[in-house]
């Protein structure tokens, strides 16, 4: 499926007409599909290449080494989470993956720092943490620009989301789907789900497998060019907009049998706001035909609920 493609440079450096056109194209794509491919996204290609290189080196470490970075009590929010620990909401089958999560680094004495655990420092792969920090900051900047466009589409002030993105609870997740060594119980590597956050930025995965569920109920493959980032709507933005912008159901399927011996790497950036942000449905998104669909909640309350549902938090 060729998902809609937008050019972020038109919003960040374009004419007023280009900027307005970008806003409409992005909003329309999110209402109709839920996914877009973004070119000129601002994340340097060499940084992405280094990120893949060092992430692959980390996952190639012996399991006992990796488990040294699995920190009890953090609900997987920082450091390593071993194979088969997470499952999709409503599914008992564990996803066939291991992952490493890197979170916010507060640099300006913001009191919110007390809410965040420290990032887990990996010793075996020299540039690992520095590279993840730089990638995190670049994804955060691109995500902030996309949310500014979404704010304008929703009739809000362009900078509506800025205060919530600053020192927000975003997560950079580095995922490894290991080779398949025996007949799997399911054709699914990661069961169908919707993301928890506002938006997700995904650089091109190392192998195919991502599928989205269309409004017609069909599973279709999603592919993007190497220089593009795929960005989708998450549940928090769906709640805030009272279903005007829909969180898209997606999954990762197993490769063809002749590719079972290969790994798949994927590195989504889950853009979360600060915990105090209200997800109460916007008044502008509520009317007679679209009554309020969700109870009020903060981003922190909703995240806590969802982490319990997917098995990361007890």
* Gyration radius of the chain over CA positions: 19
pTM: predicted TM-score of the whole model, two decimal places: 0.90
DSSP per-residue letters across the chain: ----EEEHHHHHSS-HHHHHHHHHHHHHHHHHTSEEEEES-S--HHHHHHHHHHHHHHHTS-HHHHHTT--TTSTTSSEEE-TT--B-TT--SBPS-EEEEE-----S--GGGGGSPPPPPPSSSTTHHHHHHHHHHHHHHHHHHHHHHHHHHTTS-TTTTHHHHTT---EEEEEEEPPP-S--SSSEEEEEE--SSSEEEEEPPSS--EEEE-TTS-EEE----TT-EEEEE-HHHHHHTTTSSPPPPEEEEPPPGGGTTS-EEE-EEEE---TT-B-PPPGGG--SSS---S---BHHHHHHHHHHHTTS--
Give the chain's mean pLDDT: 89
Q: How many CB atoms lie within 10 A of CB 256?
A: 7
5-309 CATH? 2.60.120.330
Q: 6-20, 43-57, 193-207: which has the minimum mean pLDDT?
A: 193-207
Kindly indicate the confidence band of residue 206, based on its pLDDT and cuts at 50, 70 and 90: very low
Whether pLDDT at 269 is above 80 = yes
Sign of torsion over alpha carbons 273, 277, 278, 283: negative
Give 257's contacts (C-beta < 8 A, 6+ positions apart): none
Whether pLDDT at 204 is above 90 = no
Kindly indicate the confidence band of residue 164, based on its pLDDT and cuts at 50, 70 and 90: very high
Whether pLDDT at 186 is above 70 = no
Higher pLDDT: 87 or 296? It is: 296
pLDDT, position 86: 61
Write down the domain spans for the chain.
5-309
pLDDT, position 3: 80
pLDDT, position 305: 86
């Amino acid at each position: 499926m060729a998902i809609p493609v937008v050019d972020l440079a038109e919003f960040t450096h374009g004419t007023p007409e280009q900027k307005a056109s970008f806003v409409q194209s992005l909003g329309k794509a999110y209402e109709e599909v839920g996914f877009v491919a973004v070119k000129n996204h601002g994340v340097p290609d060499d940084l992405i290449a280094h990120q893949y290189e060092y992430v692959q080196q980390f996952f190639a470490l012996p399991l006992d080494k990796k488990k040294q970075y699995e920190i009890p009590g953090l609900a997987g929010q920082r450091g390593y989470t071993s194979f088969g620990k997470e499952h999709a909401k409503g599914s008992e089958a564990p996803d066939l993956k291991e992952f490493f999560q890197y979170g916010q680094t507060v640099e300006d004495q913001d009191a919110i720092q007390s809410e965040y655990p420290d990032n887990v420092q990996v010793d075996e792969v020299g540039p690992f943490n520095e590279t993840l920090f730089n990638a995190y900051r670049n994804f955060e900047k691109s995500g902030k620009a996309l949310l500014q466009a979404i704010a304008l589409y929703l009739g809000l002030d362009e900078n509506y989301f800025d205060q919530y993105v600053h020192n927000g609870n975003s997560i950079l997740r580095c995922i490894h789907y290991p080779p398949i060594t025996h007949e799997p119980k399911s054709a699914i590597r990661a069961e169908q789900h919707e993301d928890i956050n506002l938006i997700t930025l995904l650089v091109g995965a190392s192998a195919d497998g991502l599928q989205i569920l269309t409004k017609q109920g069909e599973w279709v493959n999603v592919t993007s060019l190497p220089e593009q980032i795929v960005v989708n709507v998450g549940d928090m933005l769906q709640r805030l907009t009272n279903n005007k912008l829909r969180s898209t159901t997606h999954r990762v399927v197993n490769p063809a049998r002749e590719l079972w011996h290969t790994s798949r790497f994927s590195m989504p950036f889950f853009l979360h706001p600060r915990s105090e942000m209200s997800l109460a449905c916007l008044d502008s998104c509520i009317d007679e035909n679209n009554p309020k669909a969700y109870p009020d909640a903060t981003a922190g309350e909703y995240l806590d609920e969802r982490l319990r549902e997917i098995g990361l938090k007890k």
